[in-house]
Amino acid sequence: MKHPWIAGKWHKVRRPAIPVVNPATEETIDCIPRGNAEDAEMAVRAARAAFKTWRWMPGVEKAALLHEIARRIRARQPALARLMTLEGGKPFCENRDEVEWSAACFDYYAEIGRHSRGNSIPPVFAHQVNFTIKEPYGVVVAIVPWNYPLLLMAWKVAPALAAGNTVIIKPSSETPLATLALADAFSTLPAGTVNIVTGSGEELGAALIRHPGTDLIAVTGSVETGQRVGALCAEQIKKVHLELGGNDPFIVCSDANLEIASRAACWAAYLNAGQVCTGAKRFYVFDAIADNFTRGIVRFTRSLKLGSGLNPTTDIGPMIHLRQLEDVHARVQDAVGQGARVLCGGRRSPKFKKGFFYEPTVMADVNQDMRLVRTETFGPILPIMRVQGMDEAIEMANDSAYGLGANIYTNNMEWAMKAMERITAGTFWINDPLSDNDAAPFGGMRRTGHSRELGEEGLDEFRETKHVHLDYKQEIKPYWYPYSRYNRLTS
């Protein structure tokens, strides 16, 4: 059984075990302890002690240590990618990409943190100087989901460290092993700067959130998780950083290259078996090309290979667990009951005796009122809806409580810019879905959350702004209170 990593060393604890299951085989590959308030206390104590020195470490030294973390992550890329495939199911080649992206995030924040600057403010009167400095919050709790366990960890931990905070990582109980394997990469930091604890959100997560020694809670998860975390943070007026679910629209215009657009649509819908918060989940296709687009989608979907992520020919791996598969299938069945048609897929794959494999699914005759479309569906489903033109596509795209991302395929810049301006989304992709850029902010609107990761905005999420007012001439200043009795007494 794995153990928590606190203050730079492994702590052997006797706790009830949580099994970590391979979703491709349904076999238990390891166990982690079900952490509790005692583990939270140890981790917070270690992080608070480390904060006293880490916050004051010169930026150039912090940068060197973050670069070393990136180097160590890259050095273990194949082993980390394999471990992520075993615990999460995502194909090995995609996990190798994730490891590289995670390392690159530490490299990026090493540099942006070292070069970040404050602002000088024009003073109101002579012999005054005004400027701002940005300070760390203190101890950051990073609560990480299972679908991209290293990448979404890096998006929080790298900027938090660059800003001068110390960190406690709580990985998902479904995919904790690769995160625990990063203890070696974090071991170059002063003990307690990064700590890793495992357990359920209801027990360990709540203990970390409620602990008076934690200062900022950073979460990626469902809207429901965000609501619970936000309510707990509100009890202490504690800073909360929320990146929540999405239900992204994907518009295909009549001038789109259908071969390219259909492949891109499948990529956006089926990546990680559809278990991506920025995955496209609602497809609005101009009626003039809808039949041809749909045929291309079905043809390409049927060519995709479902299987173990360790098989180099696999395109789509298993879903994370049985209840996730059953939820997706229930949504498909509910839509069929309301008149939708399954063009391909629509069932748990009969080819596998074990594993949570769901066939990539294309659906037609879908409408906005179906649960499949109305709420976030976390699975390999591609529902197609016809629209008569751009105005209808924009209206339907905005008919959602979410606002994470949106996509469009067109060469008509007027259409593209009109959609970009009018659709409520934190990221708008034109002819290139799901791409990220470490230097560009990522985050959502509406129920998707109110925070940003990546870019300088992502660094600022982990810093507080302090205004400094300096007057280098000590004297009585009558302009302080020009109409007050104080001014008469001191003049």
- Residue-wise pLDDT for 289-332, tens only, equals 999 999 999 999 999 999 999 999 999 999 999 999 999 999 99
In this structure, the answer to whether residues 314 and 234 fall within a common structural domain is: no
Residue 486 has pLDDT above 70, yes or no: no
- In this structure, are 57 and 179 located in the same domain? yes
Half-sphere exposure (Cβ direction) of 239: Cα atoms closer than 13 Å:
19
Condensed to tens digits (0 to 9), the pLDDT of residues 16-70 reads 899 999 999 999 999 999 999 999 999 999 999 999 999 999 999 999 999 999 9
Q: Residue 384's beta-bridge partner residues? A: 283
Residue 124: what pLDDT? 84
Asked if residue 138 and residue 123 are part of one domain, the reply reads yes
DSSP class of residue 188 equals: T
In the predicted structure, residue 476 carries a pLDDT above the cut 80: no
CB of 320 within 8 A of CB of 275? yes
Whether 416 maps to a domain, the answer reads yes
Q: What is the mean pLDDT of residues 354-378?
A: 96
User: What torsion, rounded to 10 degrees, do the Cα atoms 98, 99, 105, 111 define?
Assistant: -150
Quick one: 292 and 385 in the same domain?
yes
The residue type at 451:
S
pLDDT at 114 over 90: no
Of 430, 452, 483, the residue at which a domain comes to its end is: 430
Please report whether residue 133 resides in a domain: yes
Closest CA to 409 of 247, 303, 293: 293
Residues 86 and 199 in one domain: yes
Q: CA-to-CA distance for 249 and 259, rounded, in angstroms?
A: 19
Distances (CA, A) of 20 to 188, 226, 272, 405: 28, 24, 18, 31
Whether the pLDDT of residue 272 is over 70: the answer is yes
Q: What is the pLDDT of residue 445?
A: 93
Shared domain for 56 and 153, answered yes or no, is: yes
Element (H, E) at 115: helix 92-115
Of 430, 453, 485, which one is at a domain's C-terminal end?
A: 430
Please, what is the angle between helix 59-75 and helix 92-115, to 10°?
Answer: 170
Domain-embedded: residue 448: no
Are 331 and 340 spatial neighbours (Cβ–Cβ below 8 Å)? no
> Rounded CA gap, 32 and 173, in Å?
8
| Same domain for 330 and 189 | no
Which domain, by its residues, includes 220?
5-243+461-468
| Confidence (pLDDT) at 481 | 59
| Overall average pLDDT of the 269-284 stretch | 96
State pLDDT tens for residues 79-107.
999 999 999 999 999 999 999 999 999 99
Distances (CA, A) of 123 to 105, 130, 132, 208: 37, 6, 12, 42
- The reply to whether 98 falls in a domain is yes
Both 226 and 278 in a single domain? Answer: no
Question: Are 143 and 204 contacting, i.e. CB atoms less than 8 angstroms apart?
Answer: no
User: Which residue, among 263, 274, 265, 226, has the nearest Cα to 377 in the 3D structure?
Assistant: 274
**Tens of pLDDT along 142-192?**
999 999 999 999 999 999 999 999 999 999 999 999 999 999 999 999 999
Answer yes or no: are the C-beta atoms of 231 and 254 closer than 8 Å: no
Q: Report yes or no on 124 lying in a domain.
A: yes
Q: What's the mean pLDDT when you consider all of the chain? A: 94
In this structure, are 128 and 177 located in the same domain?
A: yes
Q: Given pLDDT bands bounded at 50, 70 and 90, which one contains residue 478?
A: low
The CATH number linked to 182 is 3.40.605.10
Flag whether pLDDT at 401 surpasses 60: yes
Query: Are residues 47 and 166 in contact, defined by beta-carbon separation less than 8 angstroms?
Result: yes
Are 237 and 282 members of one domain?
no
Q: 434: burial class by Cβ within 10 Å (0-12, 13-18, 19+)?
A: middle
User: Nearest-CA neighbor of 358 among 338, 385, 341, 378?
Assistant: 378
- The residues that are catalytic are 243, 277
pLDDT the model gives residue 162: 98
Coil, strand or helix: which one is 428?
strand
At residue 488, does pLDDT exceed 60? no
Using the predicted structure, report yes or no on whether residue 490 has a pLDDT greater than 60.
no
Q: Are residues 232 and 293 in the same domain?
A: no
Amino acid at the residue 390: M
**Domain count of the chain?**
2
Given this model, what pLDDT does residue 1 score?
A: 79
CA distance between the termini of the chain: 75
With respect to residue 129, please indicate whether it lies within any of the assigned structural domains. yes
**Percent helix, percent strand, percent coil in the chain, to nearest 5:** 40, 20, 40
Amino acid of residue 288: A
The CATH number covering residue 327 comes to 3.40.309.10
Residue 438 lies in a domain: no
Q: For residue 169, is it within any domain?
A: yes
Q: Is the same domain home to 310 and 390?
A: yes
Alpha helices in 149-304 (DSSP H): 151-162, 177-180, 183-186, 206-210, 223-235, 258-270, 287-303
Stretch 203-217: mean pLDDT: 97
